[in-house]
Structure formats: structure tokens, C-alpha cells
A = this chain, B = another copy of it.
Amino acid sequence: MRAEIIAVGTELLLGQIVNTNAQYLSQGLAELGIDVYYQTVVGDNADRIRAAIETARGRADLLVFTGGLGPTLDDLTRDVLAAYLGRAIVTHEPTMRKIEELFMGRGTAFVESNRRQAHLVEGATPLRNDTGLAVGNALSVDGTHYLLLPGPPREMKPMFENDGRTWLRGALGEANALHSVMLKFSGIGESMLEDLLIDLIREQNDPTIAPYAKEGEVAIRVSTKAGNAEEAARKLEPTLQEIRSRTKGYLYAEEDIPLEAAVVRLLEQKRMTLTVAESCTGGMIAAALTTVPGSADAFLGGVVSYSNAVKHRQLGVPMELLEGEGAPGAVSPETAAAMAEGARAIADADFSLSATGVAGPAGSEGKPVGLVYVGLAERGKPTRVEKLQLSGDRQGIRIRATKRALHLLWQSLSGQE
């Protein structure tokens, strides 16, 4: 099946928002084994929406719309599609009751246009909206499938994941469903990982192997089409085992979670605690760890020691290390170790991570931009320091230093050093 994703909204054409929906749906459709050939963005204009539908019908079997299902007169997607197909607009009563109850509950005046959010193209299957009001639409006419989803990602995503995916599976036939496993790696670059797996990637057929990259992390999706989960697992397992054996020390999860979540999970399993001492990363390691819900049990907190005075007073880093002739300086393996050890001792934690370096744009202490030391102090073990020479801009260097520090701890926690 060939799909086209059509985002409707003038705010996209003005550059006020980024079309993240297109990426999300492209991934979701790929997982279902549906090829996306075009993505289109069109404004809130009936003639141009209709023209986009006509163009898309000539080159796709599935048209997935986002946006234009809201209450205002600018929200045109449903009306234009109904007119194009020569169908009436009907009301989805459960949604209408939900809208009326909501406004009664608020005691505010009911705005008539809100009723538009309960509208369906005649004959369409309604798609439940758990996080908003506008009902989704799904229908098949003359061999073309139409899926109408809301524009706000927090409404669109749950609707697609639930009723949308179910309806598409029905339209496709279950045997076609794609099953996949996401493998997440850290501490290794995309090209080095590809080198390790180059023969598997070259010879891939079924399962397929698709690499993804984000700053500081890489991922591989291994996918196969199968009738059910057991058959899929049987087809995927030999490839997964081969990849696992080649990527020890880097493969931190077999699901799509960030490295910080894997670290927090291991700490919780072992009932161990962590603190941090951050200089160049300036709070980013702590901020990453605290994105994980429930991280408070394992992560005690830490110190952002941007100035030498804070490094000395709050972490106990000796001034002889930091300043004066012949001192190693703030950006040195000695200071990284002293920061990690000081933070661990103060909080009496099992582990402590530190980072000190030159994030740029200017060098510091005569040291080059990108030079970073990350330290790991562990109760009862010698402290380790890793020297990094990172490239990229200020924020890129800080992100990569954060990930490398977390990776150092993950290796220790998982015994994959």
C-alpha cells in the first residue's frame, strides 16, 4: 500500500510550527509495512485542500490527513473531503454528548461551532479522541483509504496508536502486519556501528535492519512481517542474537527508551544511588536523569560547579589542582576525579558522575574546544576518568559529554565494561 501524508494548516506554511506529525506517522506507517511516497502540507483553504486530495489520489491508495478537524470555520478537512466524495456530513452522537457535557460542566456559554468537532463524513468509522474533542474519521471509497486525524500531536498520537492503527490493520489484512524491535546503542557512533554490522545490513532481506541516529545515541530497528507475535519473534531472534553478540558494551536496551532511563532502571533494580558533579555539562546530566519518572529513589541530586570556587567549596576539589602555575586546571583528569569523589562522599551515594571540559565557543585554560573529562566514582572501587575529544557546537559537545558520562555508568552497572 502507498500512502501520502497531508498536513492541513496555515501555521505550518508560515513556519510557526514544525511538522513533527509527518515524522511520527511516517515511522508508524513504516512499522505497518506501508510505504510513504509523499508528504504534503497545505493551508486552510478549501480549493487548495481539494487540489491536494486530487493530486494525492493519483499517486497513493491511503491518504492520511492531520489537522483541520477543530471547531473553527478554518477547520475544513472534513467538509472538503465530504464535498469531494459527494457525501453528506453526519453527526457522531457520542462525541456531541461529550462536547455538550463539557460545556455544561464549565457553565460557560456554548459556542455553536464546537458542534463541528462531532462531524463525520457519511459512512466513516469514528476514531476515539481520548485527549481532545474532535472525532477522527476513517473510510474507504473506491479502493482509496482516508484517515482523518487531529492536528495537535497530543490528540493525534493516541488516536493513531489506538483506533487508527486498528483500522489500518483491518484495511491491510493482519498477515501484512510488521513486527519490529528497536535496539538502542550508546558509546558508539553510527558509522562504527554500521561497520560492525555491515554484512548483516548489506545482506538484509527479512528481517530488515534500519539504522536511526540522534545526537549521542544510535538505534537500529529490526523488522519482519508476520501473522502473529510468536511467528515474528521466531523470525527476528537469530538476527537479534547476532547483533547482540557483536555489540556488547553498547547495546543498552531492546526498546525505545533513552539511556538515562536504562541507567535509572538498573540503579533501582540494584537499590543503588547516584549523585553528579557537573561543570561543562552545567546540569544536563541531572536534567536528563530527572526526566525519568520516579528517578528520585535512585538519583539524590548533585552539584553544578561552574566556577572554581564552587568546585573547591562544595566538592572539596583542592585549589592546588585548579589554579596556580603547573596546576592541572579545572579541565583535567585530576579535577574530574576529585569532583566525582567529592560529590559521592558528600551525598554518601553509591556512584557519582562528573564532567569537566571546554564546550566552547572559545577555548579555556589554553585547552581546545571539545576536550572533556568524564569521571565515575564508585563506593569501594578506584575512580575512573575517560578523556573525550568531542566535535560539534557548544550544545552538541554538552549533549555528547552527558551521554558518554551516562554510558560509563551504564557499562559499570550492567557489567559490560
Contacts and interface: CB of A to CB of B under 8 A. Distances in A.
A272 interface: no
Interface string A11-45: 01111111110111111111000011111111100
B301 A296 contact: no
Given A291-B394, A306-B299, A14 B39 contact: no
Interface in A94-128: none
A302 B303 contact: yes
A380 interface: no
Given A282-B290, A300-B306, A15 B26 contact: yes
A86 interface: no
Interface in A271-311: 275-276, 278-287, 289-291, 293-296, 299-307, 309-311
- Size range of the chain A interface in the assembly: 35 or more
B18 A37 contact: no
A306 B273 CA distance: 12
A13 B41 contact: no
Nearest to A24: B15
Contact of A296 (B19, B51, B306): B306
A26 B395 CA distance: 25
Q: Which label, helix, strand, loop or mixed, suits the secondary structure of the A interface?
A: mixed
Given A14-B36, A39-B13, A283-B286, A300 B293 contact: no
A198 interface: no
Contacts of A280: 290
Contact of A16 (B12, B212, B347): B212
B22 A310 contact: no
A301 B304 CA distance: 5
A41 B42 contact: no
Given A15-B25, A291-B395, A304 B304 contact: yes
B43 A14 contact: no
A210 interface: yes
**Most chain B beta carbons < 10 A, residue from A13, A284, A307:** A13
A261 B51 CA distance: 45
B304 A283 contact: yes
A205 to B, nearest CB: 17
Given A12-B26, A19-B23, A41 B43 contact: no
A313 interface: yes
B287 A283 contact: yes
Contacts of A411: none
Contact of A15 (B14, B23, B279, B284): B23
List 9 A-B pairs, minimum CB-CB distance, nearest first. Answer: A282-B290, A283-B286, A15-B26, A15-B27, A283-B283, A39-B41, A283-B287, A301-B306, A301-B310
Interface of A: 12-20, 22-30, 35-43, 48, 51-52, 55, 59, 210, 212, 275-276, 278-287, 289-291, 293-296, 299-307, 309-311, 313-314, 346-347, 359-362, 394-395, 398
